[in-house]
């Protein structure tokens, strides 16, 4: 497996003023410099091959981590042409007809870049980055908001703008992983190196939001065993790590947990309010795979394993278990009972992956493999808008692919 982390540059004065930058060379502000420093502290112990857009705000952010940077013009932000230096809000207001056509591949910023060409550039560049990343190693790419949003949207299977994702924060980390021909989103918009208050961003500033947290570690997680409906408690590490999150999740209308010990324990350790339970949040029924390691599953059901995990979201896990589509649908049914509420939910890896896939309406062609399973205590947040759900974060927390069960 190859891992590529995508990082948006630190804040510039133009970001603060909310004006289009495009291809202009703008330096980091004092706030942006501090953001880049905090990011470098979080990443300092990782062995990373570093790529960067050649624009100064990206290079400056990357340089806090290392001076050994591969700069590439192809990693630049989209060229916004005549909009450069203008207010984002004002251009949207005065050019509404132009932006209404953004979903069309023939859209072009006035004297700027065509979105069709930009998407082609993004696809080619990410392919280049993966080709130049060693197997079982990590690269990091310092680039720009529109570029990262396009990578994430295309990886999830969407073809036309606007993609159902939220604003990408300065110095946030988004991660994609590739196994042979399958590319998945592992993390999106994680900026907890700036403040742990960002763990459920933007739920703290929204009246309506859905926040999912996967339970803490169990002994089965540590041993690489697929649990499914096996009702295991947290181990010592799971309890200790969950306690560190206490009081970070505040002002939710509802706190709902899977009835399984590992999820309910997790939620009870991080919130001090009443907790409801719901069977809709239980882990996926893994059928004949429950209690097995991945190696054992592959020895018996390799073809069906690959189909269910990566190819067909309606294919059942464990032959007679549950599909991603079915698990996502039951969570959607639960959420529909509590419209216009801010809800915190403690659930399980497969169920959270399935729910997020369903709620953002990932295209069927990518629905099985749109996301990896989130890490233990990984946090994901969605916000409703215009009768749709937008993904604002996924798997916020520890960096790296921690699902030992996929690797045992």
233 and 184 co-located in one domain: no
What is residue 399's predicted lDDT score, i.e. its pLDDT?
87
Residue 383 phi/psi, 5-degree rounding, is: -130, 130
Q: CA 193, 197, 203, 205 torsion: positive or negative?
A: negative
Q: Are 343 and 211 within 8 A, CB to CB?
A: yes
203 is written with which tokens? Answer: 């739920």
CA angle 368, 209, 174 (to 5 degrees): 50
56 and 186 co-located in one domain: yes
Question: Exposed, middle or buried: residue 368 (CB in 10 Å: 0-12, 13-18, 19+)?
Answer: buried
Report how many domains make up the chain: 2
Nearest to 403 by CA among 173, 242, 224: 224
Checking DSSP bridges between strand 379-385 and strand 388-396, what pairing results, if any? antiparallel
250 and 342 co-located in one domain: yes
What is residue 37's predicted lDDT score, i.e. its pLDDT?
98
276 and 152 co-located in one domain: no
What's the whole-number mean pLDDT along residues 20-47? 96
Question: Per-residue pLDDT tens for 52-81?
Answer: 999 999 999 999 999 999 999 999 999 999
180 and 213 co-located in one domain: no
Question: Per-residue pLDDT tens for 225-260?
Answer: 999 999 999 999 999 999 999 999 999 999 999 999
Q: At 4, which helix (H) or strand (E)?
A: strand 2-8
260 and 336 co-located in one domain: yes
Residue at which a domain ends, from 162, 190, 218 = 190
Q: Provide the residue range defining the domain that includes 373.
A: 197-406
307 and 332 co-located in one domain: yes
What is residue 358's predicted lDDT score, i.e. its pLDDT?
97
CATH code of the domain in which 43 resides: 3.40.50.1240
Residue at which a domain ends, from 133, 160, 190 = 190
Nearest to 321 by CA among 278, 299, 288: 288
Residue at which a domain ends, from 143, 170, 190 = 190
Residue 313 phi/psi, 5-degree rounding, is: -70, -5
pTM of the model: 0.95
103 and 220 co-located in one domain: no
157 and 214 co-located in one domain: no
Question: Exposed, middle or buried: residue 73 (CB in 10 Å: 0-12, 13-18, 19+)?
Answer: exposed
37 is written with which tokens? Answer: 């420093």
235 and 317 co-located in one domain: yes
90 and 26 co-located in one domain: yes
384 is written with which tokens? Answer: 């409703």
Confidence of residue 401 (pLDDT cuts 50, 70, 90): low
What is residue 325's predicted lDDT score, i.e. its pLDDT?
97
What is residue 2's predicted lDDT score, i.e. its pLDDT?
96
The partner residues of 380 in beta bridges, in order of sequence, read 212
183 is written with which tokens? Answer: 């590319």
Identify the three-state secondary structure at position 362: coil
Q: Are 60 and 34 within 8 A, CB to CB?
A: no
């Amino acid at each position: 497996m190859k891992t590529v982390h995508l990082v948006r540059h630190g804040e510039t004065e133009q970001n603060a003023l909310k004006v289009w930058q495009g291809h202009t060379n703008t330096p980091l502000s004092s706030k942006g410099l501090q953001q880049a420093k905090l990011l470098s502290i979080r990443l300092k112990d990782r062995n990373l091959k570093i790529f960067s857009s050649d624009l100064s705000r990206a290079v400056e952010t990357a340089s806090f981590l290392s001076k050994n940077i591969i700069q590439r013009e192809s990693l630049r932000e989209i060229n916004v042409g005549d909009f450069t230096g203008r207010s984002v809000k004002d251009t949207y207001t005065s050019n509404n007809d132009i932006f209404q056509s953004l979903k069309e591949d023939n859209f072009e910023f006035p004297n700027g870049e065509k979105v069709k060409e930009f998407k082609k550039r993004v696809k080619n560049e990410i392919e280049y980055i993966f080709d130049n990343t060693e197997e079982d190693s990590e690269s990091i790419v310092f680039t720009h908001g529109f570029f990262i949003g396009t990578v994430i949207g295309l990886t999830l299977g969407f073809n036309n703008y606007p993609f159902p994702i939220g604003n990408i924060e300065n110095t946030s980390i988004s991660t994609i992983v590739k196994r042979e021909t399958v590319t998945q989103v592992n993390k999106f918009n994680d900026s907890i190196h700036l403040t742990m208050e960002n763990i459920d961003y933007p739920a703290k500033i929204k009246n309506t939001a859905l926040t999912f947290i996967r339970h803490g570690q169990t002994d089965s997680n540590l041993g690489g065993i697929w649990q499914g409906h096996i009702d295991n408690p947290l181990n010592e590490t799971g309890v200790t790590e969950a306690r560190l999150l206490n009081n970070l999740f505040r002002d939710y209308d509802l706190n709902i947990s899977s009835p399984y010990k590992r999820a309910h324990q997790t939620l009870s350790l991080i919130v001090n309010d009443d907790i409801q339970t719901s069977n809709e949040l239980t882990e996926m029924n893994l059928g004949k795979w429950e209690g097995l390691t991945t190696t054992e599953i592959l020895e018996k059901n390799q073809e069906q394993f690959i189909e269910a995990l990566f190819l067909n979201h309606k294919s059942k896990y464990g032959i007679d278990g549950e599909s991603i589509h079915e698990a996502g649908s039951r969570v959607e049914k639960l959420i529909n009972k509590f419209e216009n509420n801010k809800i915190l939910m403690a659930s399980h890896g497969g169920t959270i992956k399935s729910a997020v896939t369903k709620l953002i309406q990932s295209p069927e062609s990518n629905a099985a493999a749109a996301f990896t399973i989130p890490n233990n205590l990984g946090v994901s947040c969605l916000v409703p808008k215009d009768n749709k759900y937008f993904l604002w974060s996924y798997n916020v927390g520890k960096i790296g692919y921690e699902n030992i069960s996929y690797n045992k």
